[in-house]
């Protein structure tokens, strides 16, 4: 399976380029081009009535598509934002500082930077569980989550610096004994990359993701599933959190929606949601879900690993552990290898001493063989 013909606008713009950084910046399918234009056309056609159409048609349809992917009962629990950082700050505002946070040593920079800054100001107390050794991580994290000592339990489903897939997410969520605590799953590297079923924990866990990576929708289209009853009145709030009550004004207590909209912000560019709606609809029409996408990627990963000798570093996590849709190689040459690949028209990326190579449905076996030949030729010193 390869749907590279559906990415012609991106891929044909540089036919000499091999893009293997789907985990970082995924190409956009061609259907997103028409969707982006549609957002403009709707703005011109509807003008002042645009937001009624956005919130009455585009947003509910996209919410339902997301809910179908995640196994949710409905899309009403989904809140949108331009980025996940905005949603995290809104979650944090539901608690009085200092907020007690349990997290890991492998969260993405936006959460790591913000949580460390909160610590500097005395606004948060953060316990971070090391992710390695991976084999024992679930038990170690579960033991901490069970302690009842935290307001927010925040962890990635797939770690950005390794691709390790945290197993038994349901068990970790169920282990949180403090009822008022928020359990937050960062799913940016799992949404549309591998099957995710939140059905069993939808009433207990928040789930964050967005369009920039495997949802293939670009910037400005992030979302959060908000379990009912958790955080009914975030202090950090915008006027869209009570959009349906706008004409009534504010007489006494600031009103909020009872669904996911309670975590909404203020005015945003809706074109990203148009793109996400189009992309998810396109995949549905092709009969492709995260399961099919992940199986395709796993086949390409195996072909790559079998075709390269020596590998450009130590494979993390090792064989036998589940990983997401990118491969991570640890070595002191990660930066050098990244630059060598870039000079030969191969787009990857690296974080510290870890080279990351990502795969997607726009790749086929010929692409991987070409990549393997180039990687094999890298300077080993």
Mean pLDDT over 245-252 rounds to 61
Share of residues in the chain with pLDDT > 70 (%) = 97
189 in a structural domain: yes
Taking residues 359-376, what's their average pLDDT? Answer: 96
Tokens representing 211?
A: 């369009």
For residue 250, the model assigns a pLDDT of 60
Give domain status of residue 381, yes or no: no
Residues 87 and 18 grouped into a single domain: no
Residues 229 and 339 in one domain: no
For residue 249, pLDDT over 80 is answered with no
Q: What percent of the chain has pLDDT over 90?
A: 90
Q: What are phi and psi of 65, to 5 degrees?
A: -60, -40
**Distance, CA of 69 to CA of 284 (rounded, Å):** 10
Confidence of residue 172 (pLDDT cuts 50, 70, 90): very high
Same domain, 309 and 336: yes
* 342 three-state secondary structure: helix
pLDDT at 248: 58
pLDDT for position 68: 98
Mean pLDDT of the chain: 95
Task: Compute how many other C-beta atoms are within 10 angstroms of the C-beta atom of residue 298.
Answer: 15
Lowest mean pLDDT, pick from 13-17, 46-50, 97-101, 244-248? 244-248
pLDDT score recorded for residue 80: 98
Q: Kindly report the backbone phi and psi dihedral angles of residue 349, in degrees, each rounded to the nearest multiple of 5, phi listed first.
A: -155, 170
Of 258, 284, 310, which residue sits at a domain end? 284
pLDDT at position 247 is 53
Reduced to 3 states (helix: H, G, I; strand: E, B; else coil), residue 164 is strand
Domain that holds residue 166: 32-284
- pLDDT confidence of residue 1: 62
Alpha-carbon separation of residue 216 from 195, 234, 277, 280 (angstroms):
16, 30, 11, 9
CB 296 within 8 A of CB 324: no
For residue 41, pLDDT over 90 is answered with yes
Q: Is the pLDDT of residue 211 over 80?
A: yes
User: pLDDT of 114-171, one tens digit each?
Assistant: 999 999 999 999 999 999 999 999 999 999 999 999 999 999 999 999 999 999 899 9
Residue that the structure tokens 């010193």 belong to: 381
Whether the pTM exceeds 0.75: the reply is yes
Whether residues 272 and 331 share a domain: the answer is no
* pLDDT-based confidence at residue 246 (cuts at 50, 70, 90): low
Check residue 320 and give its pLDDT: 85
Closest of 245, 241, 236, 207 to residue 224, by C-alpha: 207
The residue from 248, 268, 284 where one domain ends is: 284
Q: Is residue 187 a contact partner of residue 212, using CB atoms and an 8 Å limit?
A: no
**The pLDDT value given to residue 244:** 62
Number of domains in the chain: 2
pLDDT confidence of residue 242: 82
Backbone φ and ψ for 260, nearest 5 degrees, come out as -60, -20
Alpha-carbon span 9 to 282, nearest angstrom: 16
Q: What is the distance between the alpha carbons of residues 349 and 354, in angstroms, rounded to a whole number?
A: 9
pLDDT digits (tens, 9 = 90+) for 1-30: 668 889 999 998 888 899 999 999 999 999
For the cut 70, the answer to whether the pLDDT of residue 321 exceeds it is yes
Q: How far apart are CA 236 and CA 91, in angstroms?
A: 8
3-state secondary structure of 153: strand
Please state, in angstroms and rounded to a whole number, the distance separating the CA atoms of residues 257 and 251: 16
Residue 318 has pLDDT above 90, yes or no: no
Report residue 26 as tokens. 């995924």
- Paired residues of 227 in beta bridges: none
pLDDT band of 374, cuts 50, 70, 90: very high
> Are 43 and 106 members of one domain?
yes
Please check whether residues 108 and 209 belong to one and the same domain.
yes
């Amino acid at each position: 399976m390869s749907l590279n013909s559906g990415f012609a606008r991106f891929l044909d713009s540089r036919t000499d380029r091999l893009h293997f950084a789907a985990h970082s910046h995924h190409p956009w399918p061609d259907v997103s081009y028409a969707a982006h234009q549609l957002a403009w056309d709707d703005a011109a056609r509807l003008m002042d009535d645009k937001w009624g159409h956005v919130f009455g048609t585009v947003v509910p349809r996209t919410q339902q598509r997301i809910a179908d992917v995640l196994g949710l009962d409905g899309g009403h629990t989904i809140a949108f934002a331009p980025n996940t950082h905005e949603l995290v700050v809104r979650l944090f505002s539901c608690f009085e500082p200092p907020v007690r946070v349990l997290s890991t040593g492998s969260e993405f920079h936006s959460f790591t930077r913000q949580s460390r800054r909160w610590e500097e100001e005395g606004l948060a107390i953060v316990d971070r569980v090391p992710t390695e050794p991976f084999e024992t991580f679930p038990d170690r994290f579960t033991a901490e989550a069970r302690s009842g000592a935290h307001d927010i339990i925040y962890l990635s489903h797939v770690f950005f610096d390794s691709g390790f897939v945290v197993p038994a997410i349901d068990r970790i969520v169920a282990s949180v004994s403090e009822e008022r605590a928020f359990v937050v799953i960062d799913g940016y590297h799992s949404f549309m990359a591998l099957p995710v079923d939140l059905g069993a924990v939808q009433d207990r866990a928040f789930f964050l993701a967005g369009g920039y990576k495997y949802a293939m929708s670009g910037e400005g289209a992030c979302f959060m599933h908000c379990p009912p009853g958790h955080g009914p009145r975030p202090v950090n709030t915008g006027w869209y959190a009570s959009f349906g009550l706008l004409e009534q004004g504010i007489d006494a207590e600031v009103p909020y929606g009872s669904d996911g909209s309670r975590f909404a912000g203020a005015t945003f560019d809706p074109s990203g949601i148009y793109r996400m709606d189009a992309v998810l609809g396109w995949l549905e029409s092709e009969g492709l879900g995260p399961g099919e996408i992940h199986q395709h990627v796993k086949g390409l990963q195996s072909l790559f690993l079998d075709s390269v000798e020596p590998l450009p570093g130590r494979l993390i996590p090792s064989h036998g552990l589940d990983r997401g849709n990118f491969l991570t190689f640890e070595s002191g040459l990660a930066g050098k290898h990244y630059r060598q690949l870039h000079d030969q028209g191969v787009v990857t990326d690296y974080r510290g001493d870890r080279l990351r190579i990502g795969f997607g449905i726009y790749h086929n076996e010929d692409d991987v063989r070409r990549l393997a030949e180039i990687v094999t030729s890298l300077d080993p010193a």
